[in-house]
Chain A
Amino acid sequence: MIKEYKTIREIASPLMVVEHVEGVTYDELGEIELPNGELRRCKVLEVEGDRAVVQLFESAQGINLAESRVRFLGHPQELAVSEDMLGRVFNGMGQPIDGGPAILADAHMDINGLPMNPAARAYPAEFIQTGVSTIDGLNTLVRGQKLPIFSGSGLPHAALAAQIARQARVLGDNETFAVVFAAIGITFEESEYFINDFRRTGAIDRTVVFSNLANDPAVERIATPRMALTAAEYLAFEKDMQVLVILTDITNYAEALREVSAAKKEVPGRRGYPGYLYTDLATMYERAGRRQGKKGSITMIPILTMPEDDKTHPIPDLTGYITEGQIILSRELHRKGIVPPVDVLPSLSRLKDKGIGAGKTREDHSGTMNQLFAAYSRGKDAKELMTILGEAALSEDDKLFAKFAEEFEKRYVSQGNNTNRSIQETLDIGWELLSILPQRELKRIKPEFIEKYMPKK
């Protein structure tokens, strides 16, 4: 028997205090019925004696202390899942908004999920070819990885993410593929860009969209990525699909979290974000992965815009500590017209080592990758020196490295958003670039590979 309370004592959006409650538990989902019959949802944040502090998911507008009723539903927030979700569009709370019928639920899943037992994880080691050289060659993505894109306002992260979603495939593999896309506080235009791209390539039929746009309630954003991940978990681990999850934009999510934290008058951590931001982000990001004995996988590409392009801002910083690497976009390269403007030096894929090499990509991959990084880093230093002191101040070797860096950006990085390069092409371009350098400097590559792969002049 569900009780109704008319005892709302206080509303300070997004928080509300209800008194004289009985049997209410932490994290329970609640419904508020407005005098006009409208329903809004909320969840319990704290309960002390007969007093419950609840968080509204929607705006507080129109809630009336005397007339509104509150019901607690006895379970945490859930998502109705089914395979029919593919091809559908939902709002940030998981309700269909594409005019289609409601989902006939196969199961109701708690959107908070459960932590995965580390002993049950399977290590991600299957190479995903994205067709983007800077990713495949240098920051290799593997199945079950979480690899965020660190971007800035005005940088083309959406184009890169759409390119990855369009081109990504596992070599020699025909498994069912699905995309779960969560728009978290982004604009209508940005969201449409993705959806149109999915539509153009026909991927829309294999896509589940959760959409919380910039003008939707901010607190609802806290649930949106969890809705998306719950759907992804269902598709990957119950229906054996290879799921790619794109979450954009995590910065909006963290700001919503800060808003609620400030309303709760919690002691703030860095820059006003709550002290538990790391843990909170981790409970989302860690839902990516593979499980032993399960065919499916969740590969995650969260996108975040770094405020002021600052990588040490808490959102990119904490994300970087949880995710398995990051792809960083550079404003400087973007201005130079390099597409996609991936800044390879600070970019990283932590899981690349198990996903590359003989039998996966090619035997020379690891050595050339390290050599390209080291050479580009030295070339950039040389170029910097050149701008201060002039070309004459460089040694012969450094001149070659400077030339290498220039060519590397032009040919390797700048491939455009519509070129789909195979891993062989990527590696071969790498070798062509390395042939600019004196052979004695190629210390990171085994001599037999230099013999075998170096283009003969």
Chain B
Amino acid sequence: MSGTITKVSGPLVVAEGLADANVSDVVRVGSQRLIGEILNMTGDRASIQVYEETSGLGPGATVETTGMPMSVELGPGMLDNIYDGIQRPLPEMRALSGDSITRGANVPALNREKKWDFVPVAKPGDKVAAGDVLGTVQETSAILHKIMVPRGVSGEVLSVESGEHVVTDIVAVVRDGKGVEHKLSMMQRWPVRIARPYTRKYVPSRPMNSGQRIIDTMFPIAKGGTAAVPGPFGSGKTVVQHQLAKWSDVDIVIYIGCGERGNEMTDVLMEFPELKDPRNGEPLMKRTVLIANTSDMPVAAREASIYTGITIAEYFRDMGYDVAVLADSTSRWAEALREMSGRLEEMPGEEGYPAYLASRLAQFYERAGVVECLGSDDRQGSVTAIGAVSPPGGDISEPVSQATMRIVKVFWALDSSLAYARHFPAINWLTSYSLYIDTLRSWYTEQFGETYMLNREKAMHILQEESELQEIVRLVGQDALSPADRLTMETAKMIREDFLQQNAFVDEDAYSSYPKQFRLLDLILHFDSLCRDALGKGADMNGLFAISAREKIGRAKMADAQSFQADYDAIDALMKKEIEEVTAGGEDE
């Protein structure tokens, strides 16, 4: 089925003679066979979004439909790999066409020559349905890839092949109720704009451990939850995203660089193979899939990139894994949407964005969640979606931020004034929120006792009070405050500097375990309560603030991950002793 181009305007191409094509079909455009997708049809005229630069294309060139919607290839070989927005492997593109991305390159997403050791799980004679595991492949040292029965296939297993196979080899044959034999390989296709099915969805109830104190203790996110990280440029969005990609206790990370800097993707590419997962010691790259559609790459493929990413995430979820999808940045995706909408001459909504912006965003985030996967073994998997938002000028009253905030449950608001003072992560503790606190409370209590959440509330309260006291200080000066209020200010400063600040570039501090977070905050709050008692007994305020244990608390976050308990015990004892001394000194006078 082919048609003829009548109009070219940037990435938008109009072709006629495509009456039999379907909306959303992938098409090949012109002699270079550029990849495109049909957006609209009017009679036999199709409006096509082309995923590659259209320079040199003109009326009269042919357009061929493939008859299939925009799909990804799912199977072994995706981990430890880097794709562009339409799932073309970038290292192989480089081998084919050099340092630049040339047009019309046609490289399969999954390597067709690489052999995988397929270990069957199903036996001939087994009854299987969609989602059941046929066998496994040890894809990387960290991840066991489960080969599942694709949707629409169920019946009796006739044969299974074990041993070395390429992804397209037939590894199993299943005969369905009508007697049709389905030959199954390790690879399946899935249209990216359709969510993959599951048996049922649950409310998220376990936290995702990120090793970041302000996230885990103050504004936790649940596995299967959704979060947004908005912030102006320079406030550290990308570092937060990288930290999450590195340290989250999920099985798989899908990192989507959507319209962002090329060097940032290179950074991930070079750094992740070197970094070890703190839980199993495997290189982080072995659990990571990168989707890189940098800002200079074609804008239409940027629009597709987040769907490519989340579809791959859902596929791993279906194996029963916990997956995190990090999209940096959804604002660039929205801009791609706006650009295509403008070229289609659609009626614009707010700030030129199309009216369907909010519903498209909601559709993306709603693909996150904890689910019981298809298949008979009741396995559970989750997809956690975290999107960076880049509001113009840092002003979150703009449409993308607002539409995102209506959907996500966790909001980590980055603040440029914190970033200027080099308070990182620059997540503002007053404007951020997590709506998972209540559902996760029981998990924290079960693991670490009630004190964990009580401490959190105490700390949040102190920070809240500090901001009110700061108003007073700004008007009348610090001397007007009572000693108790001065203590609140001091404790708040300690919480900010000694607990919330975390240096992503220092090995000892980049990842902080739950027990370490808990002890550190407890130490600071203990200082607060001891001092409050001492002040009640008439102790000298300045003496209390000058004790040497405070400097030790200031450096406590650098304590070794293995032996910190002993260090913290020592600081705690020293602090008690010094405060007692100051109190005794006060009473003597």
Which chain B residue lies CB-closest to A48? B7
Which chain B residue lies CB-closest to A310? B393
Q: Quick one: which of B54, B82, B295 contacts A322, CB cutoff 8 A?
A: B295
Contact between B339 and A388, CB atoms less than 8 A apart: no
Contacts A118-B90, A286-B262 given: A26-B234 contact, CB under 8 Å? no
CB proximity of B505 to chain A, nearest CB, Å:
5
A-chain residues with CB within 8 Å of residue B269 when the two chains form the complex: 118-119
B422 at the interface (CB under 8 A from A): yes
Q: Quick one: which of B7, B100, B270 contacts A49, CB cutoff 8 A?
A: B7
Contact between B58 and A47, CB atoms less than 8 A apart: yes
Cβ proximity bits B382-396 to A, threshold 8 Å, 1 near / 0 not: 000000001011110
CB proximity of A191 to chain B, nearest CB, Å:
28
B335 at the interface (CB under 8 A from A): yes
B-chain residues with CB within 8 Å of residue A355 when the two chains form the complex: none
B-contacting 9-mer, from A9-17, A121-129, A201-209, A408-416: A121-129
Contact between B352 and A26, CB atoms less than 8 A apart: no
Contact between A373 and B296, CB atoms less than 8 A apart: no
Give complex CA distance A287, B99 in Å: 12
A270 at the interface (CB under 8 A from B): yes
A36 at the interface (CB under 8 A from B): no
Which chain A residue lies CB-closest to B473? A385
Contacts A26-B54, A286-B261 given: A312-B392 contact, CB under 8 Å? yes
A317 at the interface (CB under 8 A from B): yes
B-contacting 9-mer, from A92-100, A271-279, A429-437: A271-279
Contact between A118 and B294, CB atoms less than 8 A apart: yes
Q: Quick one: which of B8, B90, B261, B332 contacts A324, CB cutoff 8 A?
A: B261
Among A301-338, those with CB < 8 Å from B are: 311-314, 317-318, 320-322, 324-326
CB proximity of A277 to chain B, nearest CB, Å:
9
A452 at the interface (CB under 8 A from B): no
Which chain A residue lies CB-closest to B504? A353
B266 at the interface (CB under 8 A from A): yes
B507 at the interface (CB under 8 A from A): no
Contact between A119 and B82, CB atoms less than 8 A apart: yes
Contacts A123-B263, A269-B351, A317-B233 given: A286-B295 contact, CB under 8 Å? yes
Give complex CA distance A411, B60 in Å: 67
B-chain residues with CB within 8 Å of residue A373 when the two chains form the complex: 420-422
A30 at the interface (CB under 8 A from B): no
Q: Quick one: which of A26, A317, A345, A447 contacts B421, CB cutoff 8 A?
A: A345
Give complex CA distance A294, B59 in Å: 39
A267 at the interface (CB under 8 A from B): yes
Among A338-395, those with CB < 8 Å from B are: 345-346, 348, 350-351, 353-354, 366, 370, 373-374, 377-378, 385, 388-389, 392-395
Contacts A26-B54, A269-B352, A321-B390 given: A46-B422 contact, CB under 8 Å? no
A200 at the interface (CB under 8 A from B): no
Contact between B420 and A377, CB atoms less than 8 A apart: yes
A-chain residues with CB within 8 Å of residue B102 when the two chains form the complex: 114
Give complex CA distance A392, B479 in Å: 10
Contact between B8 and A118, CB atoms less than 8 A apart: no
Contact between A123 and B267, CB atoms less than 8 A apart: yes
Contact between B233 and A320, CB atoms less than 8 A apart: yes
CB proximity of A44 to chain B, nearest CB, Å:
8
CB proximity of A394 to chain B, nearest CB, Å:
8
A443 at the interface (CB under 8 A from B): yes
A-chain residues with CB within 8 Å of residue B393 when the two chains form the complex: 311-313, 317
Contacts A123-B266, A269-B351 given: A393-B478 contact, CB under 8 Å? yes
Contact between B421 and A393, CB atoms less than 8 A apart: no
B159 at the interface (CB under 8 A from A): no
Which chain A residue lies CB-closest to B394? A312
Give complex CA distance A440, B498 in Å: 13
B-chain residues with CB within 8 Å of residue A447 when the two chains form the complex: 555
A-chain residues with CB within 8 Å of residue B100 when the two chains form the complex: 113-117, 120
Contact between B479 and A393, CB atoms less than 8 A apart: yes
Give complex CA distance A124, B140 in Å: 29
Which chain B residue lies CB-closest to A398? B478
User: Considering only CB atoms and an 8 Å cut-off, how many residues of chain A contact the other chain?
Assistant: 82
Contact between B60 and A116, CB atoms less than 8 A apart: no
Give complex CA distance A378, B91 in Å: 47
Which chain B residue lies CB-closest to A389? B477
Contact between A115 and B296, CB atoms less than 8 A apart: yes
A-chain residues with CB within 8 Å of residue B554 when the two chains form the complex: 440, 443
A318, A325, A443: which has the most chain B beta carbons within 10 Å?
A443
B9 at the interface (CB under 8 A from A): yes
Contact between A378 and B474, CB atoms less than 8 A apart: no
A24 at the interface (CB under 8 A from B): yes
B283 at the interface (CB under 8 A from A): no
Contact between A374 and B58, CB atoms less than 8 A apart: no
Which chain A residue lies CB-closest to B479? A393
A258 at the interface (CB under 8 A from B): no
A283 at the interface (CB under 8 A from B): yes
Contact between A26 and B332, CB atoms less than 8 A apart: no
B292 at the interface (CB under 8 A from A): yes
CB proximity of A45 to chain B, nearest CB, Å:
7
Q: Quick one: which of B101, B394, B474, B505 contacts A116, CB cutoff 8 A?
A: B101
A35 at the interface (CB under 8 A from B): no
B500 at the interface (CB under 8 A from A): no
Q: Quick one: which of A112, A115, A443 contacts B297, CB cutoff 8 A?
A: A115
Q: Quick one: which of B55, B257, B422 contacts A370, CB cutoff 8 A?
A: B422
Contact between A26 and B10, CB atoms less than 8 A apart: yes
Contacts A118-B269, A119-B91, A321-B233 given: A314-B60 contact, CB under 8 Å? no
Which chain A residue lies CB-closest to B8? A26
CB proximity of A444 to chain B, nearest CB, Å:
8
Give complex CA distance A348, B423 in Å: 14
Q: Quick one: which of A27, A118, A321, A394 contacts B265, CB cutoff 8 A?
A: A118
Q: Quick one: which of A25, A270, A312, A345 contacts B8, CB cutoff 8 A?
A: A25
Give complex CA distance A377, B421 in Å: 5
Among A178-211, those with CB < 8 Å from B are: none
A69 at the interface (CB under 8 A from B): no
A-chain residues with CB within 8 Å of residue B63 when the two chains form the complex: none
Contact between B335 and A275, CB atoms less than 8 A apart: yes
Contact between A287 and B296, CB atoms less than 8 A apart: yes
Contact between B101 and A114, CB atoms less than 8 A apart: yes
Contact between A269 and B295, CB atoms less than 8 A apart: no
A-chain residues with CB within 8 Å of residue B298 when the two chains form the complex: 115
B69 at the interface (CB under 8 A from A): no
B229 at the interface (CB under 8 A from A): no
CB proximity of B314 to chain A, nearest CB, Å:
24
B-chain residues with CB within 8 Å of residue A425 when the two chains form the complex: none
B560 at the interface (CB under 8 A from A): no
Among B548-566, those with CB < 8 Å from A are: 550-551, 554-555
A-chain residues with CB within 8 Å of residue B238 when the two chains form the complex: 350
B416 at the interface (CB under 8 A from A): yes
B-chain residues with CB within 8 Å of residue A406 when the two chains form the complex: none
Contact between A49 and B59, CB atoms less than 8 A apart: yes
Contact between A266 and B342, CB atoms less than 8 A apart: yes
**What would be 20 A-B contacts, judged by CB atoms less than 8 Å apart?**
A24-B59, A48-B7, A48-B14, A117-B101, A118-B90, A119-B292, A123-B266, A123-B270, A275-B335, A279-B299, A282-B259, A286-B295, A289-B262, A291-B99, A322-B295, A353-B505, A370-B503, A374-B421, A393-B478, A443-B498
Binding site for A on B (CB under 8 A): 6-10, 14, 53-60, 82, 90-91, 93-94, 98-102, 232-234, 238, 257, 259, 261-263, 265-267, 269-270, 292, 294-299, 332, 335-336, 338-339, 342, 348, 351-352, 390, 392-395, 416, 419-423, 473-474, 476-479, 497-498, 503, 505, 550-551, 554-555
Beyond known contacts A279-B295, A279-B335, A385-B474: 4 more, CB 8 A cutoff: A116-B101, A117-B98, A119-B93, A279-B336
Please list the 9 inter-chain residue pairs (A to B) with the smallest Cβ-Cβ separation, ordered nearest first.
A312-B393, A282-B295, A25-B58, A393-B477, A114-B100, A286-B296, A27-B55, A320-B233, A377-B421
Binding site for B on A (CB under 8 A): 23-28, 45-50, 75-76, 112-124, 144-145, 237, 266-270, 275-276, 278-279, 282-283, 286-287, 289, 291-292, 294, 311-314, 317-318, 320-322, 324-326, 345-346, 348, 350-351, 353-354, 366, 370, 373-374, 377-378, 385, 388-389, 392-395, 440, 443, 447
